[in-house]
């Protein structure tokens, strides 16, 4: 597997983002999935998948606490690109048990509570979405945070037992924004209101000038600003 990953990284480094996605979908004729949070990176990847008509399953996680603007963008994206987006929800019984035991805003009280909420609302649904997949495409970029600076284009995800591919890894924020403008790609209107990174509504705020782009996520705690979806990658750095 190490040799295969090394070969993938060498090949992907020589291609542009659209070519990377096409190459992966050709190499793995089934079992390629893409998780979109409807962020700007993910909207670019959705554009490439739809534009090239790639056989990639697109899915998203509905935590039950997203911004209305995020739901509006999901509708707009499906209508624009005519591609299905599978939606995975958290287990209702687990959400009910957590909220009944700790209250609806327990995530503000401790990092442990916040991680529990993220696990129930995000990680467990992600595990179901990735079951049986061979390749997981993400919108991670190296400059998004310190935790992601040393990520490769392709890596073995031991937790989910699949290959994880980051086709926009080397894209800068300026390059991404310029591409979105050039191709008229729909994006979340909250980005124009100071929200560079958007998650659940209670856990996301606008950032101040000069703040890190992920400073608005779980702003009340001094953590690594990760929810656990990409935990295995963070641990490698």
* Catalytic site positions: 227
Dihedral sign computed on CA atoms, order 193, 197, 203, 207: negative
Q: What are the distances in angstroms from CA 125 to CA 84, 118, 139?
A: 18, 10, 18
Cα gap 114→105, rounded to integer Å? 9
Tokens of 220: 């009340």
Cα gap 62→84, rounded to integer Å? 15
Tokens of 98: 């957590």
Cα gap 103→63, rounded to integer Å? 16
Whether the CB-CB separation of 164 and 138 falls below 8 Å is answered with yes
Residue with tokens 């008509």: 53
């Amino acid at each position: 597997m190490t040799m295969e990953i090394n070969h993938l990284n060498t090949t992907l480094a020589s291609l542009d983002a659209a070519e990377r996605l096409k190459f992966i979908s050709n190499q793995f004729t089934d079992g390629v999935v893409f998780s979109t949070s409807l962020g700007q990176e993910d909207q670019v990847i959705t554009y490439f998948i739809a534009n090239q008509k790639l056989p990639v399953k697109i899915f998203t996680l509905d935590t039950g606490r997203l911004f209305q603007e995020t739901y509006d963008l999901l509708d707009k994206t499906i209508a624009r690109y005519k591609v299905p987006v599978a939606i995975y929800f958290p287990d209702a019984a687990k959400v009910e048990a957590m909220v009944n035991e700790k209250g609806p805003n327990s995530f503000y009280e401790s990092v442990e509570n916040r991680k529990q909420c993220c696990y129930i609302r995000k990680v467990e649904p992600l595990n179901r979405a990735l079951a049986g997949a061979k390749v997981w495409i993400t919108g991670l970029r190296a400059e998004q945070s310190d935790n992601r600076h040393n990520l490769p284009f392709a890596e073995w995800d031991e937790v989910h037992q699949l290959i994880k591919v980051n086709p926009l890894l080397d894209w800068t924020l300026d390059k991404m924004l310029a591409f979105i403008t050039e191709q008229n790609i729909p994006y979340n209107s909250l980005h124009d209101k100071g929200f560079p990174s958007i998650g659940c509504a209670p856990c996301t705020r606008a950032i101040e000038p000069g703040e890190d782009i992920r400073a608005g996520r779980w702003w009340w705690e001094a953590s690594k600003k990760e929810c656990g979806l990409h935990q295995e990658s963070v641990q490698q750095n």
